[in-house]
């Protein structure tokens, strides 16, 4: 089947901040002119930190919003999965997840529902981008960045097992210094959980803030964002440690030889 022209793409948008997030609305505004068809399917509430959770123990109920967006009483991955596997009346070519409120840097990608929604899209055969804004103000900047990346997509290598994790400084577009291709940095251990009690005296805990950057070398996503650049990190969704396979196979061969009579 011939591939659609760039200006005729079918695009699915989702997020983890919920269907009413201002970032999702600004993303839709930025992407709509590039689409032949566009659908927005997102959780009915904020599900930040949901990672790749998939709901398997109950049915899911989509609801049409006044905005035209579709909400689902499930996770970000549920939303993308349903949309691609039959809920929509068209098949998306691409998934864009975001615009997340707050950056997704380094270790954050393991917990991020924004990144997980993009990964689910890639698993199901769609090119995918996760986009996050390092703040709460300049969503239009992040929307313009995504539109530029999609428009230039035919010149941007993006292998089948890869998504792009994009983090945008919370600045006006004309103050962005440019783009950097980066690797994931990583953080120190998370802050201790907060031990407290409810008004009725029950003991409870809050998950505390993430740790400060530990690896923020110049080639990392942390450094690019701190210096006013858009960070673009290709994430390989094959978790196999290919470098270790040979050594482990040699070890296993030795174990098997010892077990022979």
Lowest mean pLDDT among 9-18, 52-61, 161-170, 250-259: 250-259
Please say whether the beta carbons of 113 and 48 come within 8 A: yes
Of 1, 13, 4, nearest to 154 by C-alpha is 4
pLDDT per residue as tens digits for the range 79-115: 999 999 999 999 999 999 999 999 999 989 999 999 9
Residue 2 in this model has a pLDDT that exceeds 50? no
Give me the pLDDT at residue 8, please: 67
How deeply is 135 buried, as exposed, middle or buried, from its count of CB atoms within 10 A (0-12, 13-18, 19+)?
Answer: middle
Q: What is the pLDDT of residue 189?
A: 78
Contact between 105 and 184 under an 8 Å Cβ cutoff? The reply is yes
Sequence ranges of the domains in the chain? 6-259
Q: d(Cα 104, Cα 223) in Å, to the nearest integer?
A: 13
| Rg of the chain (C-alpha set) | 20
Nearest to 145 by CA among 26, 13, 38: 26
> Cα separation of 115 and 250, whole Å?
35
> How far is the C-alpha of 134 from the C-alpha of 241, rounded, in Å?
31
Alpha helices by DSSP H, the chain = 22-31, 76-82, 113-123, 139-151, 221-226, 242-259
Dist. CA 30–CA 135, nearest whole Å: 18
Q: 6 pLDDT band (50/70/90 cuts)?
A: very low
Q: By the 8 A CB rule, do 234 and 162 touch?
A: yes
Confidence (pLDDT) at 121 = 95
Residues of the chain by 3-state class (helix, strand, coil), percent to 5:
35, 25, 40
Please give the Cα distance from 170 to 132 (Å, whole number). 10
Mean pLDDT of 8-37: 95
Please tell me whether the peptide bond between 99 and the residue prior to it is cis, using omega within 30 degrees of 0.
Answer: yes
Question: For 3-7, 45-49, 187-191, 253-257, which range has the lowest pLDDT when averaged over its residues?
Answer: 3-7
Q: Check pLDDT > 90 for residue 135.
A: yes
Kindly provide the b/e burial profile for residues 220-229, where b requires at least 16 CB atoms within 10 angstroms of the residue's own CB: bbbbbbeeeb
Q: Binning pLDDT at 50, 70 and 90, where does residue 154 land?
A: low
Q: What would the pLDDT profile of 183-218 be if each residue is shown by its tens digit?
A: 998 777 778 889 999 999 999 998 877 767 766 789
pLDDT of amino acid 249:
87
pTM, to two decimals:
0.89
Is the per-residue pLDDT at 1 higher than 60?
no
pLDDT in tens, 169-192: 999 999 999 999 999 987 777 788
Average pLDDT, the chain: 90
Query: What is d(CA 95, CA 152) in angstroms, rounded to the nearest whole number?
Result: 16
CATH entry 3.30.43.10 includes domain 6-259: no
pLDDT band at 74 (very low <50, low <70, confident <90, very high): very high
- Structure tokens belonging to residue 144: 């313009």
């Amino acid at each position: 089947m011939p591939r659609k022209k760039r200006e005729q793409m079918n695009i699915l948008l989702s997020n983890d901040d919920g269907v009413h997030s201002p970032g999702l609305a600004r993303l839709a505004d930025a992407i709509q002119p590039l689409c032949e068809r566009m659908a927005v399917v997102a959780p009915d509430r904020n599900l930040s930190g949901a990672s790749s959770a998939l709901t398997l123990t109950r049915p899911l109920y989509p609801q049409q919003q006044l905005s035209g967006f579709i909400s689902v009483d499930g996770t970000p991955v549920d939303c993308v999965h349903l949309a691609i596997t039959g809920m929509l009346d068209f098949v998306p070519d691409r998934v864009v997840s975001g615009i997340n409120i707050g950056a997704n840097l380094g270790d954050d990608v393991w917990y991020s529902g924004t990144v997980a929604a993009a990964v689910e899209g890639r698993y199901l055969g769609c090119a995918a981008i996760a986009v996050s804004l390092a703040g709460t103000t300049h969503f239009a900047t992040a929307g313009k960045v995504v539109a530029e990346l999609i428009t230039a997509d035919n010149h941007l290598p993006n292998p089948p097992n890869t998504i792009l994790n994009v983090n945008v400084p919370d600045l006006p577009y004309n103050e962005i210094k440019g783009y950097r291709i980066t690797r994931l940095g990583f953080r120190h251990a998370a802050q201790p959980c907060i031990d407290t009690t409810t008004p009725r005296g029950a003991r409870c805990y809050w998950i505390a803030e993430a740790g400060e950057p530990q690896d923020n070398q110049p080639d990392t996503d942390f450094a690019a964002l701190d210096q006013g650049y858009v960070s673009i990190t290709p994430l390989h969704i094959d978790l196999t440690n290919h470098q270790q396979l040979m050594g482990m196979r040699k070890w296993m061969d030795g174990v098997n030889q010892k077990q022979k009579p």
